Amino acid sequence: MTDQELVERLKKGEDSAFKTIVESYQDMVYNTALGIVQNSEDAEDVAQEVFVQVYESIHQFKGDSKFSTWLYRIATSKALDHLRRKKRKKRFAFLQSLFGANEEEVIHTPDFHHPGVSIENKEKAAVLFRAINKLPDNQKTAFTLHKIEGLSYQEVAEIMDTSLSSVESLMHRAKSNLRKMLEDYYQKNLG
């Protein structure tokens, strides 16, 4: 059954179509979220939010783009929203700790295992993902979709609803920023 047929069946309220969509796209949505939020539990939460939104807003999908493009847009948007909420909570917790109201440690290190990373490369991957996490949101999204999810620049442009030249520029800046961050890291830690 094609995505278009599934979407039409879901619009008619067929729960089996929704189940098929979830089964077909859960890995893609989870891996996209994981690449951005860098925590497996958070990625699972984001994936659930994505599918809830798909179910609730399927009537807004007009078919102007591929269904997977629409799904990537929702996944990246939800993942970035999740990060923003988490940062606000961290800032609030940090401010509380400054005033003695909360003595908990508020620094969280990436504690996830991306499915595409082998065990022997885990330490290098953790350093890379920490650096990716420091990129501005639009660079992080473009980099994650292209390098981690393996999408073409054209697909990234469609998902981010921007031009091909904007994606090329974002990727260039992301690579440049990552190169600088990683050079700084290796000079400090290995120099």
Report the sign of the C-alpha dihedral through residues 76, 144, 88, 86, in that order.
positive
Do residues 12 and 104 share a domain? yes
- Both tokens assigned to 129: 């993902």
* Stronger pLDDT, 117 or 141, i.e. the higher one: 141
Do residues 32 and 81 share a domain? yes
Cβ 40 vs Cβ 31: under 8 Å = no
- Rounded to a whole number of angstroms, the distance between the first and last alpha carbons of the chain is 56
Predicted confidence (pLDDT) per residue in 128-185, tens digit? 888 888 999 999 999 989 988 889 999 999 999 899 999 999 999 999 999 888 887 7
Domain stop point among 57, 92, 109: 109
Do residues 97 and 180 share a domain? no
Burial of 8 (0-12, 13-18, 19+ CB in 10 A): middle
The total of other beta-carbon atoms located within 10 Å of residue 9's CB is: 18
Do residues 56 and 121 share a domain? no
* Per-residue DSSP letter, 148: I
Residue 89, pLDDT > 90, answer: no
Containing structural domain, residue 135: 116-191
Do residues 104 and 173 share a domain? no
Do residues 138 and 88 share a domain? no
Do residues 120 and 95 share a domain? no
Predicted confidence (pLDDT) per residue in 30-41, tens digit? 999 999 998 999
Do residues 17 and 101 share a domain? yes
Total domains in the fold of the chain:
2
Domain stop point among 81, 109, 137: 109
Q: What is the pTM of this model?
A: 0.66
What distance in Å separates the CA atoms of residue 170 and residue 107, rounded to the nearest whole number?
Answer: 28
Do residues 45 and 101 share a domain? yes
**Residue 16 identity (one-letter amino acid):** S
* CATH number of the domain within which 22 lies: 1.10.1740.10
Domain stop point among 46, 78, 109: 109
Contacts of 84 (CB under 8 A, 6+ apart): none
Do residues 21 and 89 share a domain? yes
Do residues 66 and 37 share a domain? yes
Residue 5, pLDDT > 90, answer: yes
* CATH number of the domain within which 123 lies: 1.10.10.10
